[in-house]
Structure 1
Amino acid sequence: MDLQLSGRVAVVTGASKGIGLAVARTLAEEGAHVVAVSRTPSDALADAKVTHVAADLMDPAAPARVVARAVEEFGGLDIVVNNAGGPPPGTTLPRAGFMTPDDADWAAMFEFNLFAAVRMIRAAVPHLLERGGGSIVNVSSTMARQPSAVNVDYGAAKAAVLALSKSLSAEYAPQGIRVNTVTPGAVLTDWWTKEGGAAEVFAGMVGSDRDSVLTEVAPTMMGLATGRLVHVQEIADTVALLASPRSGSTTGAEFVIDGGQLKEI
């Protein structure tokens, strides 16, 4: 299926690894001009037709610089994928309990997961309107839908992303800008697999080992009907479809990709 993305200009944040890397590569393969945003470039993008822009999204001025670079490089902007999120730089998740994060932890979590997206959208909207519309895809988390005593601040920030997407879709749909949310569950990324990552932290909590957490403990604890963590390409394919004009009547929607974790109606 032709997604009609050839020649369109996309900004993808958090594009050096995991979901963002898969999204950037997928959009580029579909013919889009991709501005891949991350603090450092990724060797995994070396063979992809993307333009890397180094930016620390904890800097309030960074989103405007990124959008300006995309417009300067390619003459406009059609797609924004706010994927950057998770633990802010220097933070290790998971962490248990409401009393664990302090004010600074809460502020950093919202800065990285919510305000960076707010600023990126604020910078992008005028350029999307100049093109007659476009697509914004925000990445949330099932922790926004199924809060727990683990990662309380993260879940709250991602719930705010859901609310933001709904509000934006209502305001800008008449002007041709579609805003949707992709809500991943547990995705097999570096966040889980790296040394000292979530799998090792969980292993220490439950008295298991890293590999068992990835293949058995986490899928069982989280109630994943598929019995496995989600693959990044499964997220990227959904983002690409939402970015496409072929989803022209889809806005204000949330696409949950979680291996069957969320079961409520």
Structure 2
Amino acid sequence: MGVAGGREGGGSGVEQDLAGRFALVTGAGRGIGAAVTDALVARGARVLATDLDATAVKAAADRHGDRVVAGALDVTDAAAVERTVADAERAIGPLDIAVNVAGILRGARVVDLDDADWAGVFAVNTDGVLHVSRAVARRMTARGRGSIVTVASNAAGVPRAGMAAYAASKAAAVMFTKCLGLEVAPYGVRCNTVSPGSTLTDMQRAMWDRSPGGPEAGQRAVIEGDLAAYRTGIPLGRIAEPADVADAVAFLVSDRARHITLHDLYVDGGATLRA
């Protein structure tokens, strides 16, 4: 881990309701993870921003100066996660917040799904959530406070063709987080999930690039719906931005949500009709 350089972070006009808190964010190199880091810093928190891509996470952290510590982390490596959490608490202080954002998508029809792709998706999206949540929960319960949020997906609640591994891994992460939340609630620790729909990230753009009609057709099908894929559109008529998801995370980890736990908050513009 190294301290990122650059200018001081923080957003003008944003309530500093996380001042003095220390947060761990995984998958912080880009997309939703980077937006979560920005949102927490803007609200006064200090953040340990981690990602498998050390270069990406350092670049994302550079804009916040000493408010963000950047570190490379493979969430599939339980020992590495434990070392990172222990080192961070010794060097900086107790973790008050943990946000599981790291995730991958490997799409294929089930009959064509490779065993290695299935295992790889679960290793990051489910095992990684276990490793991080377990490491921080052990410490949070001992202190009698803390908040853990897992960024899942609305695909966890609605079947998606060609996305069985991703959807199943996210559904497992949602139920794991709820079960953890039940166990740690007596110790004052809250656990919630945020389930985005289609969001303007590199992962989403890669899916559009593979669309038969090209990226524009892919985006249009998401917004308008695709009957052939048994997929409704987005009632709000727009694709989410990473900041939309990050704002939901920032709310759930704040004291404004102090009586909310075991909750799965959909941030999808109504796309699943909350099925």
TM-score, with normalisation over the residues of structure 1? Answer: 0.90
Deviates more, 1:16-25 or 1:149-158: 149-158
Letter in 2 for 1:136: I
Separation in structure 2 between the aligned mates of residue 24 and residue 69 of structure 1, nearest angstrom? 19
Tell me, yes or no, if structure 1 residue 29 matches structure 2 residue 29. no
Is 1:234 matched with 2:244?
yes
- What is the distance in 2 between the residues matched to 1:161 and 1:151? 15
| CA distance in structure 2 between the aligned counterparts of 1:254 and 1:240, rounded to whole angstroms | 14
CA distance in 2, matches of 1:149, 1:13: 27
Per-residue CA deviations over 1:85-133 (Å, capped at 9, x if unaligned) read 123xxxxx4x331112222222111111001110111111122124321
Question: Does 2:214 match 1:209?
Answer: yes
Share of identical aligned residues, percent?
A: 37
Aligned mates of 2:91, 2:239 — CA distance in 1:
37
Structure 1 residue 264: deviation in Å?
Answer: 4.3
Aligned residues: 251
Consecutive unaligned residues of structure 2, counting only runs of 5 or more, are 1-13, 226-231
Q: Is the 8 A contact 1:114 1:157 kept in 2?
A: yes
Tell me whether 1:103 sits opposite 2:115 in the alignment.
Answer: yes
Match of 1:120 in 2: 132
Is 1:45 aligned with 2:27? no
Write out the 4+ residue segments of structure 1 that deviate beyond 6 Å after TM superposition. none
Paired position in structure 1 for 2:207:
198
Report if the CA contact (8 A) 1:143-1:155 is conserved: yes
2:187 to 175, 180, 192: 175
Answering whether residue 241 of structure 2 is matched by residue 225 of structure 1, we say no
Structure-1 residue corresponding to 2:161: 149
- CA deviations 1:209-264 (Å, max 9, x no partner) are 213322x1221224111122111111001101111122110000110000110114
The one-letter amino acid of 1:199's match is W
* Structure 1 gaps, min length 5: 88-92
User: In the alignment, which residue of structure 1 is the partner of 2:73?
Assistant: 55
Q: Note the 1:75-94 alignment, pairs <5 A.
A: 75-87=93-105, 93=106
2: distance between equivalents of 1:149 and 1:213? 15
Residue 65 of structure 1 and its aligned partner are, at CA, apart by 2.0
Aligned CA RMSD, in angstroms, stands at 1.6
Q: Deviations over 1:41-73 (max 9, x none)?
A: 332321112100111223232211221132022
Q: 1:251 aligns with which of 252, 261, 264?
A: 261
2:77 is paired with a residue whose SS is coil
> TM-score when scaled to structure 2?
0.87
Question: Alpha-carbon deviation of 1:174?
Answer: 1.2
Q: Which deviates further from its counterpart, 33-42 or 236-245?
A: 33-42
Structure 2 CA distance, aligned partners of 1:81 and 1:185? 18
State the distance in 1 between where 2:187 and 2:86 align.
Answer: 21
Q: Which moved more, 1:233-242 or 1:220-229?
A: 220-229
CA–CA distance in 1 between the matches of 2:164 and 2:80?
A: 27
Secondary structure of 1:99's partner?
helix
Displacement after TM superposition at 1:12 (Å): 0.2
C-alpha distance 181-17 of structure 1, shift in aligned 2 (>3 A): same
Tell me the distance in 1 between the aligned counterparts of 2:142 and 2:78. Answer: 24
Superposed CA deviations along residues 162-193 of structure 1, whole A, max 9, x for unmatched, are: 11121111111111000000000000111122
